[in-house]
Structure 1
Amino acid sequence: MPTPPPDLIQLTRAQVLQALRQLDAVGPRMPLSTVYDLVYKSRRYAPRAVAQLAYRLALGQPDAVWPLPAGAPTNQVLEKLSFTIATKRPTLENSPLLDGDVAAQEQMQELYTGPVPATPPAPVRRPVAEAPPAPAEVQEPLAHYAAPEPYAKPQALAELFMPEEKLDAALAALRRRRNLILQGPPGTGKTFLARRLAWLELGATDARRLELVQFHPSYSYEDFVQGFRPDGQGQFQLQNGILLNFCQRAAQDLERPYFLLIDELNRGNVARIFGELLLLLEADKRGPAHAVRLPYAPAGSPPFFVPENVHLIGTMNLADRSLAPLDYALRRRFAFVNLEPEFGAPLQQFLAAQGVPEAVVTRLTARLSDLNQTIADDPELGPDFYIGHSYFCQPPTNPAEASAWLQLILEQEIAPLLADYWLDQPAKAAQQRKKLLS
């Protein structure tokens, strides 16, 4: 019997949501597919397993077989129902459950961790439980940029508070070094800009070629590159980290760029987390010719390399005194772009376009500009401790509420910073707070 095209597979979003609830109700979620994940409310599922269960629920036949193969045919059906399909996080070849394109799984696994055994373990399937009744109406807001949309410089300039010359310079640095760090005080839009730089290079808001990770003090080499971690059976298995999974995806699509965004890069122990990246990040050290052996890799497995189409964009908060600066060996692998607060014409025009009254805009920009000048003049603080404009980028929709909105931000978000900035000078902190709120 010929396979019907994806357009003829009749599934509704409500049926797929019902399948997701049933998978959660049965117990631990099914292991992720090697090639694709369906991402919903921060949880991940094997797309074909979800489609299979939704199809059975739709037909009322517990033995019905989903007629489409894994991969693009199944993903197209789910994406048309506004579900997000991500290409990441492979399962190990000895996982008790496998889903998706097995040939592609084995090919990606072999690229970095050696060939899989000739006979993989037989799949194990959970019995389909009785489906709970579906709600009469399903309402879920769709995420902004959920589906890839074209993205170009005019859109970026409309969203960013920076001149075109500085945006061009940041793009040129990213293309030249392939590794870029956006650094500046808190609230200057570093992560916001990082995502849009990637979109400009991709030409679209394509989440499938973009990965975001945040470093923190507990983050390790085993999380980022490769290491032994416990599985669901209480045993330790060698598992690839985010970097290896991301590089595997990029290596299958060398004609197009891929972007790994690292938020709060200097909040982790960067030298320890990066490991071999100290060498492989350099623009002229990409590709198989510069591959190195990973310390956890099994004997005989292929060495690891960073594909030429992988780009890294990191963000660094300069105001946190608890963070150590990057060492020089890592620093010279990146180009750096400094970001500063913008309380001039771009922010004023943006707030005016949002309906914020002119008097409120004038008060906001005057108070914050004066406060930042005081911070810059303090020898123990300086420009790294500026207050950024991002605090004020979401004004209320009702112009009558703008004055109260500004006052709340100044009292609840900005004023507490002043007590920390001048911890040893409480009189000065109180003075600056009074000027800010008066």
Structure 2
Amino acid sequence: MPTPDLDPTHLTRDQVIRALQQMDLDGPRMPLSTVYDLVFMGKRYAPRAVAQLAFRLATEQPEATWPLPAGAPTNRVLEQLDFTIATKRPTLENSPLLDGDVAAQEQMQELYTGATRETPPAKVKGIKQVAPTEKSPAEPASASDPLPAFEVQEPAASYQHSTPEPYDQAMALAELFISAEKLAATLAALRRRRNLILQGPPGTGKTYLARRLAWLELGATDAARVELVQFHPSYSYEDFVQGFRPDGAGTFRLQNGILVDFCQRAAQDPERPYFLLIDELNRGNVARIFGELLLLLEADKRGPAHAVRLPYAPAGSPPFFVPANVFLIGTMNLADRSLAPLDYALRRRFAFVSLEPEFGAPLRELLAAQGVPAAVSHRLTTRLAALNQVITDDPDLGPDFCIGHSYFCQPPAEPAAAAEWLQLILEQEIEPLLDDYWLDQPAKATQQKKKLLA
């Protein structure tokens, strides 16, 4: 069939995106290119296959042939439309993920399916070898002797909780970037549900606010009644609630996790509130980590009357319950695409409060108090507010990807260095973020960086 008259250089970005969407709908059906990949929205495609499909859609001829060869000629057309062409990353042959998510490909490459090998323990600094009790220390061990036991030498604690200081609402409002009305509403939600989640873009002070909410309810900066834990993909039920873990003698025994220890402490002091802060709550497998908390977190399911027996607990052991004086405050980052949302069963156990970037009067007042010149403060707040508006309006990003104000809450002690401080943050921390946001639109990223640094 003759090639259509359409000049391949007249393809539009919308036509190429239509082709990518069509390829996603059709599912993986072709290998990646041997040398180059087109990277779009975290996925990789064969550039010439994309161009071929876009050309057919544009000409409305399903048998049309893309007139340019693979490699530089095709790549040049796509790059002129602001698509990113990268050299191919190695992939696993016959993998069903060949046209799928890049992160999933990399995880597949990290799989190890070989059998583990037993190796003799090496001498490790900080670990003392315990001599066998029935043999002389000078007697050599035979090949049939059991491996020697080890005693782990834990380092002595090098810190102590600071003396609690009074803390009230006036002090909180002086260092938080939220209004008195929103602070009051947040505290009311915490008291009503006993479980609160602070959610928003990175850098909006979620963890900072969580600790101060606890201090407000305690009336003091009492670290002894506040516990902080951070979830991550490797965190498990056994770490948080209860499970079998190795001890210093190299044997496994049943041990309580952070939650059980914390609840036992709180149950012994029922007249005062205790706060468990969970940072990056949705970075872990929340349903698996929480286990029985799906029931016990309910505000009306607290106390011994609703106790349950834990799966690992031996017969006859007392059941577990969450005391009425325990409060949970979690933080959730909404910008990371790799994080799964909470399921509805867990979601209804919490009250949610959203935090937004604050580049208005509160930040300007903080910078002024630190001696930052007004011109530097004005440049920072106006340009970051404008950038966040662009991010909010972008259909591929949205408000969850806005830049938070915490990047700029620690200006230098010397006012004369404020301009250089701001320039370094913009170049070293904000610019790489924009490159990642608009990975498939480098021209747009460059345009926004120029506006930011102009």
> Structure 2 length as normaliser, TM-score?
0.66
Distance 1:272 1:182 in 2: 21
Name the SS of the counterpart of 2:428 in structure 1. Answer: helix
Name the SS of the counterpart of 2:396 in structure 1. Answer: coil
- Is 2:437 aligned against 1:421? yes
Q: Displacement of 1:394 after TM fit?
A: 0.2
Equivalent position to 1:345, from 348, 352, 361? 361
- Is 2:414 aligned against 1:398? yes
Distance 2:166 2:443 in 1: 52
Structure 1 residues 418 and 31: CA distance shift in structure 2, 3 A: closer
Name the SS of the counterpart of 2:407 in structure 1. Answer: helix
Distance 1:213 1:402 in 2: 34
1:389 equivalent in structure 2 = 405
Equivalent position to 1:331, from 347, 353, 356? 347
**1:352-388 CA deviation, whole Å, 9 max, x = no partner?**
1110000000000011001000000000100000000
Q: How does 1:41-56 map to 2 (within 5 A)?
A: none
| Residue type of the alignment partner of 1:222 | E
Q: Displacement of 1:390 after TM fit?
A: 0.3
Distance 1:31 1:353 in 2: 44
Name the SS of the counterpart of 2:228 in structure 1. Answer: strand
- Is 2:277 aligned against 1:159? no
Q: Displacement of 1:433 after TM fit?
A: 1.1
Q: How does 1:1-40 map to 2 (within 5 A)?
A: 39-40=157-158
| Residue type of the alignment partner of 2:417 | E
| Residue type of the alignment partner of 1:338 | S
Name the SS of the counterpart of 1:301 in structure 2. Answer: coil
Q: Displacement of 1:39 after TM fit?
A: 3.8
- Is 2:264 aligned against 1:248? yes
Distance 1:418 1:243 in 2: 38
Q: Displacement of 1:423 after TM fit?
A: 1.0
Name the SS of the counterpart of 2:330 in structure 1. Answer: strand
Structure 1 residues 388 and 242: CA distance shift in structure 2, 3 A: same
Distance 1:147 1:404 in 2: 37
| Residue type of the alignment partner of 1:246 | F
Structure 1 residues 26 and 204: CA distance shift in structure 2, 3 A: farther
Equivalent position to 2:222, from 203, 206, 220? 206
Distance 1:424 1:29 in 2: 50
Where in structure 1 do 4 or more consecutive aligned residues deviate above 4 Å? 24-32
Distance 2:276 2:194 in 1: 11
Q: Displacement of 1:228 after TM fit?
A: 0.2
Distance 2:157 2:183 in 1: 32
Q: Displacement of 1:31 after TM fit?
A: 7.1
Q: Displacement of 1:26 after TM fit?
A: 8.3
Q: How does 1:139-288 map to 2 (within 5 A)?
A: 146-288=162-304
Distance 2:329 2:247 in 1: 31
Distance 1:164 1:384 in 2: 24
Q: Displacement of 1:29 after TM fit?
A: 6.7
Aligned-residue sequence identity (percent) comes to 80
Name the SS of the counterpart of 2:320 in structure 1. Answer: coil
2:427 equivalent in structure 1 = 411
| Residue type of the alignment partner of 2:424 | L
Name the SS of the counterpart of 1:394 in structure 2. Answer: coil
Distance 2:157 2:285 in 1: 29
User: Where does structure 1 lack aligned partners over 5 or more consecutive residues?
Assistant: 1-23, 33-37, 42-82, 85-145
Distance 1:427 1:40 in 2: 51
Distance 2:430 2:321 in 1: 45
Distance 1:232 1:162 in 2: 47
Structure 1 residues 215 and 25: CA distance shift in structure 2, 3 A: closer
Distance 1:325 1:423 in 2: 24
Q: Displacement of 1:212 after TM fit?
A: 0.1
| Residue type of the alignment partner of 1:40 | S
Name the SS of the counterpart of 1:432 in structure 2. Answer: helix
Equivalent position to 2:316, from 300, 309, 312? 300
- Partners of 2:243 and 2:255 within 8 A in 1: yes
| Residue type of the alignment partner of 2:185 | A
